[in-house]
Amino acid sequence: MQKKRSRRHFLITTTLAAAGYYALGNTGCKQRSNVPEHLGVQLYSVRDDMQKDPVNTLEALAKMGYREVEAYGYDEGKLFGYAYPEFGKLLKNNGLQMPSTHAGISLAVYDEAKDDISDPVKKWIDAAPALGLKYLISPSINTDEWPQMDKVVKLYAAMGRYCKKAGVRFAHHNHEYEYQQKAPDGRLLIEWILQEVDPALMAMQMDLCWVVYAKNNPVDWFKKYPGRWELCHAKDLATNGERETAIVGEGSLDFKTIFKNRESAGLQYFMVELEHYKSTPLEGVKTARQNLINMF
């Protein structure tokens, strides 16, 4: 009898251990424990699929293991043809959350005399918490506004104040030009943003790919402005020297070194992004997610 109980105990414990192993995606407990809680995908990566069939695209992303997505085009009352509440239901039906979205703004929505933003912008900021949004992110600065950074930072501060009042956080997403172009006073555009806008009113989303493309080291900026980089786009740079993205882990970025410094950087949200493809977009973001997990 004792032998039978031992054998039964062995079978039960090994079966449970195996179940736990596969539940972790065959990556091992230690490796999985290092993977950040917030690892999602920017929907621009699958933009054609989202335009044609958002329902099945979101379902496919969820089946890959994604639990968070980041939207774009949040400035017209709809997302991918759905009113904000309806799009929120699509996310919920697939077990997805949307902690952040890109929302285009410009000096056209800023009233300098009142030091305030326009009412239409306030309206879609007010709608953000009901969607579960935590961040509204400015995706770029218009080229003709680069010489007017003194006004851009006032716009950003006004956005930050209203977002804070509404219960969300305003943020800026970079391209390469912020690390290359200078304002009239000689400072880089990124320096204007970091130095002139109160950190309490604005977070930063570092697009790692474009920082490296601008021949900068993300870790240097983490050290120079610790705690400011709450979000990032985990996007790789192709090795051909062109302004071209690659699947995470198949390009030129040293993600392991970058992510070793994530605590000092303040990084909490990691969004996979892919703009160019060697396979289908959905296949690309699936591989990117698997590779990214191995970077932690």
> Is residue 34 within 8 Å of residue 258, measured between CB atoms?
no
Same domain, residue pair 28 and 67: no
CATH number for the domain spanning 273: value is 3.20.20.150
pLDDT band at 16 (very low <50, low <70, confident <90, very high): very low
Q: Specify whether 127 is located in the same domain as 68.
A: yes
Tell whether 21 and 46 lie within a shared domain.
no
Q: Please indicate, yes or no, whether residues 229 and 275 belong to a single structural domain of this protein.
A: yes
Res. 23: pLDDT tops 60: no
Asked whether 156 and 193 are in contact (CB, 8 A), the reply is yes
Cβ neighbour number for residue 142 with a 10 Å cutoff: 13
Q: Rounded mean pLDDT of the chain?
A: 91
Q: Look at residues 263, 266, 282 and name the one whose alpha carbon lies nearest to residue 274.
A: 282
Whether residues 201 and 55 share a domain: the answer is yes
> 24 lies in which domain range?
1-34
Q: Are residues 60 and 285 in contact, defined by beta-carbon separation less than 8 angstroms?
A: no
pLDDT band (50, 70, 90) for residue 32? low
Is 219 a residue whose pLDDT tops 80? yes
Same domain membership, residue 59 and residue 11: no
Domain count, the chain: 2
Q: Tell me the CA distances in angstroms from 233 to 9, 124, 236, 272, one per residue in order.
A: 46, 23, 9, 6
Q: What is the pTM of this model?
A: 0.89
Q: Which amino acid is at 274?
A: L
- What is the reported pLDDT for 75? 87
**CA distance linking residue 211 with residue 237, whole number of Å:** 10
Query: Among 24-38, 75-89, 119-133, 269-283, which stretch is predicted with the lowest mean pLDDT?
Result: 24-38
